[in-house]
Amino acid sequence: KCRKGPLDIVFVIDSSRSVRPFEFETMRRFMMDIISNLDVGPNTTRVGVIQYSSQVQNIFSLKTFFTRADMEKAINSIIPLAQGTMTGLAIQYIMNVAFTTQEGARPLHKKIPRVAIIVTDGRPQDRVTEVATQARNAGIEIYAVGIQRADMNSLRAMASPPLEEHVFLVESFDLIQQFGKQFQDKLCGVDMCVGQEHGCQHSCVSTPGSFYCECNPGYRLNVDGKSCSPIDACADGRHGCQHQCISTRGSYSCHCRAGYYLNQDKRSCSMIDYCSFRNHSCQHECVSIPNGHYCRCRSGFTLQPDTSSCRATDLCNGVDHGCEFKCVSTEGSYHCVCPEGQQLQADGKACGKCRAGHIDLVMVIDGSKSVRPQNFELVKQFVNHIVDMLEVSPHGTRVGLVQYSSRVRTEFPLNKYHSADEIKKAVMEVEYMEKGTMTGLALKHMVEHSFSELEGARPLSHNVPRIGLVFTDGRSQDDISEWARRAKESGIIMFAVGVGKAVEEELRAIASEPVEQHYSYSADFTTMAHLVENFKLNICPEEGKGMTEVRSPCECEALLQFQTNTVAILQSLTEKNILWACSLAQMTARLEALEKQVAHKK
């Protein structure tokens, strides 16, 4: 048997039409004689066979068979192609396909020789010199065996150096079997690992005229080329362990630091949740940390010395404050506050909203290009300020929103949301449309769709006021008169709000009677906050009742009235708390000085 170390051998057999059937049989015998004396197997010598003529056919690759019986059966089943002689094409195939790791060749770093045995009987019909050079440079050792009519120059162009050991010319097919025995001796050579002291710690691998040492799995060869050391699988940093990498022989395992456990991916770590053991005794919250836990109190409470119980420091959390909107703690006390656009009532707890009754309000906002994105955000804030002053509920006030430009889009109908928070959130998510200004089309959409019972408007028989608020910043590109008139005729109370280049004539056409109470204008988007209050006074009549006459703060009478009112308030406060007396005296003195200044000016 061939005692040479492992090889990757590929037979490249010429099956062109010049090879007669009985001649091809001698080539089969040649391959099987060589294979019968090889130590074939997955870890020893691997064998592949291809045949070629005008094309290349893979009979079996290096990874296909690992027994001589299977290989001989496949060789006996070869049907010659009987066409041209494209030897260069066959060399290209073994370089690009047959000797790849995907087809079973061992990696180059294993230093297992890659041997191609080309057997041909004629002159190639394509170029072989350049492709053979590329194959040899890729690490393939080429033996060129010519039979009978083969061209010697082509054989020499294909073979590896030294040529006298890699080029063979057999006079006839009858002599190929005898040549096979000679070729086998040359291919096998001497096992350099036998009969001498190689010094390899683990295993010796013989190569033509030499040998090299290999290490067992989990070890690497040292610089002396003979001894082996365990591989530290953690050293290259590619282990992926989150905390610690523990190297074992040829492998590794991940470990976690104290207080953590290894996840199912065997790499990442998660902190042990000590609170989940439910033995912490924390009154409010338990917080896990590595190797333990600690107790934490909710906002407004302080952790006590026993490190588990909590005591209220925020009076808003410790008493029944009764605030309608929000309670704000101060040192030793608290007070109630209301959302923007609402005022705290006399009881110090309730917040004032529009209580004019139930209404169906649809706001129609201009989303044309002239508004611009930053101003459109201000328009959305304007809408939310109006929502803040309304009592929104399914049975109270309902709110819908429509945006228009060159087209009209319902952002949400009257029956979509049932609380102010839901509406305000939806408003802030509205996307700016841009393009034109079709106000008439928007009015038509509002009349025909927005105030329909399908979209949430209460039936007219319920006598729930229907209010439409149109917000625009410029001249409409279509006629508004017809649908503004139809809106009012259908019972919708129309408000018109204009900003910037809005046309007064159009605003008046949209507004209900009396017009002066139903349309508003602001020169700039940033100064339109006062329009919210105007709208509030017109849809909430009680907001305007009992109000003090608005007068110039610079008039003498106004100053005197302010003094009188302030003194009355301070006197009332004094009766409640004598501790404020000092502050009252100081403020009274300042007011008397102000009165003297006013009298002097008169």
The vertex-57 CA angle with 54 and 60, nearest 5°, equals 160
Long-range contacts at 261-270 (CB < 8 A, ≥ 24 apart): 267/239, 267/240, 267/241, 267/242, 268/242, 269/242, 269/243
- What percent of the chain is predicted at pLDDT more than 70? 81
Can you give the pLDDT at residue 601?
A: 59
Is the alpha carbon torsion for 320, 323, 325, 331 positive or negative? negative
3-state helix, strand, coil in the chain (%, to 5): 35, 25, 40
Q: Tell me, which fold does domain 360-539 have in CATH?
A: Rossmann fold (3.40.50)
d(CA 349, CA 338): 9
Q: Does the pLDDT value for residue 547 go beyond 50?
A: no
Alpha helices in 281-329 (DSSP H): 315-318
Chain segment 95-134, per-residue pLDDT in tens = 999 999 999 999 999 889 999 999 998 899 999 999 999 9
CATH of 7-186, picked from 3.40.50.410, 3.30.70.1230, 3.90.650.10, 3.40.50.1860, is 3.40.50.410
554 pLDDT more than 60? no
- Band (250; pLDDT cuts 50, 70, 90): low
Q: Where are the beta strands (DSSP E) in 133-268?
A: 140-147, 167-170, 203-207, 210-214, 219-221, 228-230, 244-248, 251-255, 260-262
Model pTM?
Answer: 0.37
Tokens 């296909």 — which residue? Answer: 64
Calpha distance 74→85 (Å, rounded): 22
Contact 532, 341 (CB under 8 A): yes
CA-to-CA distance for 481 and 467, rounded, in angstroms? 18
Cα separation, 412 vs 213, whole angstroms: 79
What span, in angstroms and rounded, lies between the C-alpha atoms of 27 and 176?
8
Q: How many CB atoms lie within 10 A of CB 67?
A: 10
Nearest to 9 by CA among 119, 88, 86, 85: 119
Pick the most confident of 201-215, 390-404, 563-577: 390-404
CA–CA separation, 434 and 360 (whole Å): 27
Q: How much is the pLDDT for 6?
A: 87
Domain ranges in the chain with CATH number 2.10.25.10? 314-353
pLDDT digits (tens, 9 = 90+) for 55-98: 999 999 999 999 999 999 999 999 999 999 999 999 999 999 99
Would you give the end-to-end CA distance of the chain in angstroms? 133
Q: How confident is the model at residue 567 (pLDDT cuts 50, 70, 90)?
A: low
CATH 3.40.50.410 spans which residues of the chain?
7-186, 360-539
d(CA 88, CA 92): 6
User: Which residues, 6+ apart, have CB-to-CB distance to 189 below 8 Å?
Assistant: 4, 208, 209
Confidence of residue 550 (pLDDT cuts 50, 70, 90): very low
Percent of the chain, pLDDT > 90?
Answer: 43
pLDDT 10s digits, 267-316:
899 888 888 877 778 988 899 888 788 899 887 788 888 888 888 777 77
**Which CATH architecture describes the domain 314-353?**
Ribbon (2.10)
Please tell me the distance from the alpha carbon of residue 143 to that of residue 511, in angstroms, as a whole number. Answer: 101
Long-range contacts of range 165-170, CB-CB < 8 Å, 24 or more positions apart?
166/141, 166/142, 168/143, 168/144, 170/145, 170/146
Distance from CA of residue 588 to its chain's centroid? 66
